[in-house]
Structure 1
């Protein structure tokens, strides 16, 4: 499914925030030191974060607004030390209870960042890949019935 269709579905059936402006995207990129890939840029210019399935604060999937994206080790471990996680891991989706879907901005493939599962009890020792891109992640999330699609039943 194309990003345009996915974004239309987010708008029609979920709880998107108002769009980020190009200036907000530029400020974010300057703050973090990396650029959004095409999927993420399209998403944030469409909506600066979103709750999927349920309205806040009840949602399981909360795609963070730009100003809430931070290094995963800071969000999960409250630390900026390398032992607490890679400096290239950034939060993207809050799954509640300090569990996140994160981006690995050092592992860009085909112009896109892979997404990883960051379970607070096993991160950083374990952070399995769950999607090769945000587009893949969003498509699977929207078909998940509000469940973490990458976890066993």
Structure 2
């Protein structure tokens, strides 16, 4: 019985990410999906694997803007190529070699502000962190326990940075 309940819980999570992705397609600005081969290349190059929520997102759309198109978008979820490019920019700026070496930019909030994904715990779900350009890398703040939670809260935010209201 416990396994059956666990399976139902997992299906509920999968349905939740699928409904969030459907909302992005319906009312926001998704990019074309990444191929499984592109995801495998990204993971090999970066040295970490996408968790289930991120994999579902990138198979659905390889990046997206929420609420507004660029350059006005507060929430620009980077493509896989965008993560690679932004990672190089941040690494040159902060010389990451400690704890922050496991932090990768995932959402560009404009003005050099990013939401980072923390991949320190293999397999995920990966928490997301606010990286305000004035205090990064000295200070970061957890804004969501998973990408699914981040999407849920971002989509309900009316285009506001939900973690700034807390």
- Native 8 Å contact 1:14 1:53 kept in 2: yes
Whether 1:64 aligns to 2:78 is: yes
- Partners in 1 of 2:32 and 2:87 — Cα distance? 28
Q: How many residues align?
A: 152
Alignment TM-score, normalising by the size of structure 2: 0.84
Whether 1:113 aligns to 2:126 is: yes
Per the alignment, residue 150 of structure 2 pairs with: 137
Q: 1:7 aligns with which of 21, 26, 33?
A: 21
Task: Give how far 1:133 is off.
Answer: 0.2
Structure possessing the higher radius of gyration over alpha carbons = 2
Whether 1:82 aligns to 2:96 is: yes
- Partners in 2 of 1:118 and 1:80 — Cα distance? 12
Task: Give how far 1:81 is off.
Answer: 1.8
Change (3 A) 1:119 1:71: farther
> How well do the aligned residues superpose, as a CA RMSD in angstroms?
2.2
Structure 2: which 5+ runs fail to align?
A: 1-14
Per the alignment, residue 31 of structure 1 pairs with: 45
Residue 86 of structure 1: SS of its match in structure 2?
helix
Alignment TM-score, normalising by the size of structure 1: 0.91
Change (3 A) 1:84 1:124: farther
Per the alignment, residue 92 of structure 1 pairs with: 106
